[in-house]
Amino acid sequence: MTSVALYALSRGKGVPEPTRSALDRVRALVEDLRRQGQVTRIDEQRIGLEGETRLCVEFADPEAARATIERMRGIAREVELLNVVEEPCPRR
């Protein structure tokens, strides 16, 4: 898979600060990779009323995808309500 989605979710009180902070770290990571040519598309979409967000990233090649997905999982590992899902980005 050459795309991944990161979901920042809430439990009825908005997206928690640690989750927002981790999402910001992932955003910075993928923006840096985009500037390096490793990311071909970034699609961020609000999916809920309380700031829930889906950040979808497409990669230039499978190796870049694998390495980045592992880094994203590392960032999300101890963060509540932050999910890394290997899935295609929606076409708009």
Mean pLDDT by runs of 10 across the 92 residues of the chain is: 93 95 97 97 94 96 96 96 95 76
The predicted structure's pLDDT at residue 90: 86
**Residue 75 falls within a domain, yes or no?**
yes
The predicted structure's pLDDT at residue 85: 97
**Residue 54 falls within a domain, yes or no?**
yes
The predicted structure's pLDDT at residue 42: 96
The predicted structure's pLDDT at residue 1: 62
The count of structural domains within the chain is: 1
Can you give the residue range of the structural domain that contains 32?
3-85
Phi, psi of 51 (to 5 degrees): 95, 5
The Cα–Cα gap between 34 and 22 comes to: 18
Give me 79's structure tokens: 């963060």
**Residue 17 falls within a domain, yes or no?**
yes
Would residue 68 be called left, alpha or beta, if left means φ above 0 and alpha means ψ between -120 and 50 degrees? alpha
